[in-house]
Amino acid sequence: MAGNTFGTLFRVTTWGESHGPALGAVIDGCPPGIELTPEIIQEELDRRRPGQGGGASPRKEPDRVEILSGTFRPEGAACDLTTGTPISLVIFNKDAHSKSYDHLKDVFRPGHGDLTYLAKYGIRDHRGGGRASARETAARVAAGAVASQLLRAHGIEVTAYTVALGGVRAEARDMEAVTQNPLFCPDLEAARRMEERISEVRGQGDTLGGLVEIRATCPIGLGEPVFDKLDGELARALMSIGAVKGVEIGAGFRAAEMLGSENNDPLTPAGFVGNNAGGILAGISSGEPLIVRVAVKPIPSISREQQTVNLANEPVTIKVGGRHDISAIPRIVPVCEAMVRLVLADHLLRHLVLVAHRTAVQNHGATKNN
């Protein structure tokens, strides 16, 4: 019960079904005084919009976000500012053809949550996956845009990009390239081959997985031992995205094959040499860039015939068809950014408690001594 809230101090609650009236998010705990307008959020939303990227489906819903609470424009301010009260964001669903899902009403799509939702709840909104739809992540991206505004005010930047798709790997890490191709790939040559792979697989009615890497600048000290370690929180946040089946930090799975003398990042007066740790030591950020990679499974909705069962547990075959992407990449890239931002916004605030305590005690001590 009750798993739709994320965070301790920067708290995000999302709601909404793929084919219900709307979906949205409530952000509780955003500090006051931060610039926030629908346009700022819209910019992030547009990056995950369907109809973009090589293998994207043609569903063209506009996904216009509205801010229903939590901002106010004081006299003389150049822009709406957050007030410290909950920020309610809503995106009304427009382009939703729920009729087109009628044939899926009585059948469990392989690789989807149809079976598990029905088993758990005894009732299921079958239209487009209901709450389990990837469309749910629009609310995360909207909330992530708010987190982004907070983080930016503290000098923290998060960037995600595609490092593999359908077996094609990006060799380069050219951050400028990321915005120059619809796959958010930091290697333009690899991006080209990824597009080819997508076309090839589309012809076969099949789908592709890949790898997304997230890099973030991060001040030293974020993360709370022992259960709320920064790496654990990132893992949970990213694994909560439907298509993600694996998460690794820094050297990640490669570390399992290294010697201690290879894996340790030596320290010098100028800082760390190497970043196998991925910017986290003992669950706390080290000041080095955070490096996280996630494994994205191929989209389970394929246009090929699949074996499954219906509600009566009789064998049937289905072709999901419809308006589906070939890969969760690139639309998952802004979602990964959003989730990392939610983690960092929350842990930034949690860490600020310590900073403020130290300052306040010093000030109080100074006052007492005068």
Give the DSSP letter of residue 347: H
216 binds a second copy (CB under 8 A): no
Site string for a second copy, 119-158 (x = CB under 8 A): xxxxxxx----xxx---x----------------xxx---
CA distance 339 to 241: 9
105 binds a second copy (CB under 8 A): yes
CA distance 185 to 165: 9
190 binds a second copy (CB under 8 A): no
Least distance to a second copy, CB of residue 117, Å: 7
CA distance 176 to 187: 9
42 binds a second copy (CB under 8 A): no
- Which one among 47, 215, 331, 351 touches a second copy, defined by CB under 8 A? 351
29 half-sphere exposure, CB direction, 13 A CA radius: 19
Can you tell me whether residue 1 is helix, strand or coil?
coil
Nearer to a second copy, 119 or 180 (CB): 119
Q: Amino acid identity of 89? A: L
Site string for a second copy, 158-177 (x = CB under 8 A): ------x-xx----------
311 half-sphere exposure, CB direction, 13 A CA radius: 10
Nearest to 291 by CA among 238, 227, 225, 349: 238
86 binds a second copy (CB under 8 A): yes
313 binds a second copy (CB under 8 A): yes
Q: CA dihedral defined by 237, 171, 255, 260, rounded to 10 degrees?
A: -130
Q: Residue 27: left if φ>0, alpha if ψ -120 to 50, beta else—which one?
A: beta
Least distance to a second copy, CB of residue 60, Å: 22
- Of residues 228 through 257, those in contact with a second copy by CB under 8 A are 228-229, 231-240, 242, 244-257
Nearer to a second copy, 45 or 329 (CB): 329
332 binds a second copy (CB under 8 A): no
Site string for a second copy, 18-37 (x = CB under 8 A): --xxxxx-x-xx-xxx----
Least distance to a second copy, CB of residue 110, Å: 4
